[in-house]
């Protein structure tokens, strides 16, 4: 039995069939099958520029000393720790805020298979499973409900639009795919920028912020909630036929 079935009471079906087994009321996702419901909070895609403005206000109002602790832990189970209640967890994802193992997998393929991917992103996505179901099946995109093969969130869109030939980068299921010629044009542009111009491009990148969602991982206390930041790097190794070195300046810009 998959994590999805254990949570919702039914096996993931076709896209429309699965969608029909849920109801979203306010900030809660309800399963029509087992009667359970979960808080799925608020999903947004702020830019770095917007986050800088928000964080400046918070920093000014924050007192105390910053403490750093380096830990090694299961990213999935970490969500169940009592001290993580209310925390912000950074999650590796694609630019559509989902966890496809490759660009050949679409939202129509569902989210049950996330449990077979042991990397950090899918582990965190399953830990707040109801929110993940929401992002796949119910996130608003282009005035419609849910992500599909042809309609997806794209947190790279604004940055791509500001880059030469950026409109030619193919976004396929959250993965950015580019040709050597496109990468050379971008590399040439970035090499000519001063620090301020480069930073203006950085500020266009967006991330996914899913606020105040229920932790559904086994072992979590009732009412345990986190917020998750879904952030993607460029999929350099998935772009077969391109030299990884040609991605360096673009990829570093996104990481910055």
Residue 140: other Cβ atoms inside 10 A: 11
Can you give the residue ranges of every domain in the chain?
A: 3-153+207-233
Strands (E), 203-253: 208-214, 225-231
Whether the model clears a pTM of 0.85, i.e. scores above it, the answer is: yes
Residue 183 — pLDDT band, cuts 50, 70, 90? very high
Find the mean pLDDT for residues 169-177: 97
- The CA-based dihedral angle spanning residues 132, 138, 140, 143, taken in that order and rounded to the nearest 10 degrees: 160
Q: Which two tokens stand for residue 25?
A: 């009321």
In terms of Cα–Cα distance, which of 175, 147, 173 is closest to 15?
147
- Rounded to whole angstroms, the Cα distance separating 124 from 127 reads 5
Largest CA distance in the chain: 58
- The CA-based dihedral angle spanning residues 220, 99, 4, 42, taken in that order and rounded to the nearest 10 degrees: 60
Q: What angle do helix axes 180-191 and 248-255 make, rounded to 10 degrees?
A: 60
> Is 233 in contact with 254 (CB distance < 8 Å)?
yes
Share of the chain above pLDDT 90, in %: 92
User: Residue 66: is its pLDDT beyond 90?
Assistant: no
Mean pLDDT, the chain, rounded, equals: 96
Measure Cα distances from 118 to 26, 106, 123, 127 in Å. 32, 19, 6, 12
> Is 91 in contact with 114 (CB distance < 8 Å)?
no
> Is 228 in contact with 132 (CB distance < 8 Å)?
no
Contacts (Cβ under 8 Å, ≥6 apart) of 89? 78, 79, 124, 226, 227, 228, 229
* pLDDT score for 59: 83
pLDDT tens by residue, 15-28: 999 999 999 999 99
Share of the chain above pLDDT 70, in %: 100
Find the mean pLDDT for residues 119-143: 97
- Rounded to whole angstroms, the Cα distance separating 229 from 250 reads 21
* pLDDT score for 241: 85
User: Residue 65: is its pLDDT beyond 90?
Assistant: no
> Is 128 in contact with 204 (CB distance < 8 Å)?
no
Residue 187 — pLDDT band, cuts 50, 70, 90? very high
Sign (positive or negative) of CA dihedral 214, 216, 220, 223: positive
| Cα 21–chain centre separation | 24
pLDDT tens by residue, 193-227: 999 999 999 999 999 999 999 999 999 999 999 99
């Amino acid at each position: 039995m998959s994590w999805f079935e254990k949570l919702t009471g039914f096996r993931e079906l076709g896209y429309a069939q699965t969608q029909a087994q849920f109801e979203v009321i306010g900030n809660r996702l309800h399963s029509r099958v087992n009667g359970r419901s979960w808080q799925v909070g608020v999903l947004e895609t702020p830019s770095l520029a917007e986050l800088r403005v928000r964080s400046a206000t918070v920093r000014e109002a924050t007192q105390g000393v910053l403490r750093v602790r380096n830990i090694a832990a299961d990213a999935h189970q970490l969500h169940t720790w009592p001290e993580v209640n209310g925390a912000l967890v950074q999650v590796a994802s694609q630019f559509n805020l989902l966890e496809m193992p490759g660009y050949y997998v679409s939202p129509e393929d569902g989210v049950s298979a996330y449990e077979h991917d042991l990397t950090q992103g899918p582990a965190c996505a399953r830990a707040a499973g109801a929110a993940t179901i929401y992002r796949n099946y119910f996130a608003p995109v282009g005035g419609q409900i849910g992500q599909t093969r042809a309609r997806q969130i794209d947190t790279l869109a604004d940055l791509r639009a500001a880059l030469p030939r950026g409109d030619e980068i193919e976004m396929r299921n959250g993965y950015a795919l580019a040709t050597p010629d496109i990468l050379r044009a971008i590399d040439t542009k970035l090499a000519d920028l001063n620090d301020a111009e480069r930073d203006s491009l950085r500020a266009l990148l967006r991330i996914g912020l899913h606020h105040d969602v229920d932790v559904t991982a086994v072992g979590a206390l009732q009412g345990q909630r986190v917020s998750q930041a879904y952030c993607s790097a460029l999929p350099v190794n998935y772009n077969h036929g391109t030299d990884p070195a040609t991605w360096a300046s673009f990829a570093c810009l996104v990481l910055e």
